[in-house]
Structure formats: C-alpha cells, structure tokens
A and B are shown apart, each in its own frame.
Chain A
Amino acid sequence: KQEVTQIPAALSVPEGENLVLNCSFTDSAIYNLQWFRQDPGKGLTSLLLIQSSQREQTSGRLNASLDKSSGRSTLYIAASQPGDSATYLCAVSARFGAGTRLTVKP
C-alpha cells in the first residue's frame, strides 16, 4: 500500500524567497506523481504532473523533480509571492500526503 509523506507540514517565508517542499513515497512502482495546490475550502488545482519516465517538470516559477529510486519528489518555488499561500499536496497512485501549508508574508 502506497504511503505518502510531506515535509514540512507548514512553512512561513517572506516574499521573494525560494523554497522547497518535499514529498516521499514508499512504493516506487508508480505511473506518475502529481503536485496540487488547494486554497481554503476549495478543490484541488493541478500544478505539475511528472510521468514515471521523467525526472522533472517545470511551469513558470515552479519546478518539480522525481527520483523513483529513492521514493522522493521535490517542488521548488522560485521568488515566492503572497498569492502562493495555499496548501500544497503531493499525489502518488491516487494516494495523497497530508500537505504542506505555505504562507508567504508580504
């Protein structure tokens, strides 16, 4: 059974900082890994999808990497903005981590 862990649980940074969110999973036999963003009381918005054959994906200020052998993924956010404040969730084989609650202070 796939177990997904996200560290840290919460993160508060000043605007403009670069930051890294971590996701680890126990079963390396995966189709893909997907990062989502969730604003309070809302649904999930897909940020990046990394297929199992890929090492990373980039979209604007976001970059996600995947290392299947070690069971890890990182989401890198460059030049953070207050609008980035949200909970970030990692999904592997339909299983989710508990998320990282990010607060970017102006």
Chain B
Amino acid sequence: KAGVTQTPRYLIKTRGQQVTLSCSPISGHRSVSWYQQTPGQGLQFLFEYFSETQRNKGNFPGRFSGRQFSNSRSEMNVSTLELGDSALYLCASSLRTGEKGYTFGSGTRLTVV
C-alpha cells in the first residue's frame, strides 16, 4: 500500500515568485492536511481539506492557499514568496478529519533565496 507522496522533495525559489506543492494521500483517504515546519516555530497547521472542501484553516496569510481534487490529491500554493517561507512543508492524510490518525509524507523542503 503506497504511502503519502509529496512532490517535489526539494525546491529553490526566488523572493516574489510563487510555488505549488503536491500531495497524494494514501488510497482511500479523503482528508489531507498541510503543515509548515521551521526550527523556530515548530509544526504549524496550515489547512485541512476533506472531499474537496477546506474544513479547517490555521493562522497564515492569504498568500497560502490550497485545493483538493476529486481524487483526493491536494495542492498547496504560496504566492509572492518571502525569505521566511523557507521551511519543510509536510502533508498528512487520514480517512476523514483525523479518523484513525494521520500518516505523513516525507515533506517538501522549500528554500527561498
């Protein structure tokens, strides 16, 4: 059974650019959550999607957005990148909103220069 797949694994972008990260959940899982992890702030919740609808949202600016497709795959977009957006972005999938727990992908390491 395939795990949670995040692409790309590494990304380098320039300030002001935008970026799109992808997450494919475990087959059968319909909920996808996104997190930002930095050394100073730890794991911060970005948002959670279930059945193509955003169910929960953390305290991040509107530059951070996401969506979920009918096959449960999710994308996260960050526009007008800032140096402080450099982080490990983690995606987690679950059956539905945390039911049976979360399984994490390996993450996308974003560096903004």
B45 touches A43 (CB 8 A): no
In the complex, chain B residues whose CB is within 8 Å of the CB of A91: 102
Considering only residues 52-106 of chain A, those with a C-beta below 8 Å from chain B are 89, 91, 93-99
CB-CB < 8 A to B101: which residues of A? 32, 34, 46, 49
Interface size for chain A: under 10, 10 to 19, 20 to 34, or 35 or more residues? 20 to 34
Query: Nearest chain B CB to A15's CB is how many angstroms away?
Result: 27
Q: Bound complex: CA of A47 vs CA of B76, how far in Å?
A: 27
Residues in B with CB closer than 8 Å to A98 are 42
- The main secondary structure of chain A at its interface with chain B is strand
* Cα distance, A45 to B107, chains bound together (Å): 12
Q: What sequence of 0s and 1s flags, for each residue 37-54 of chain A, a beta carbon within 8 Å of any chain B beta carbon?
A: 000011111100100000
Judge whether B56 is part of the interface by a CB distance below 8 angstroms: yes
User: Which one of A49, A94, A95, A98 has the greatest number of beta carbons of chain B within 10 Å?
Assistant: A94
Considering the complex, give the chain B residue whose CB is closest to the CB of A96. B43
Which of B33, B106, B107 contacts A94 (CB under 8 A)? Answer: B33
Q: What mask results when residues 11 to 51 of chain A are scored 1 for a CB within 8 Å of chain B, else 0? A: 00000000000000000000110101000011111100100
A36 to B56, CA, bound (A): 21
Instruction: Report yes or no: B102 in contact with A96, Cβ–Cβ below 8 A.
Output: no
14 contacting pairs across A/B (C-beta < 8 A): A34-B102, A41-B88, A43-B90, A43-B107, A45-B104, A49-B100, A49-B101, A94-B45, A94-B56, A94-B102, A96-B45, A97-B42, A98-B42, A99-B43
Residues of B at the A interface (CB closer than 8 Å) are 33, 35, 42-43, 45, 48, 56, 88, 90, 92, 97-107, 109
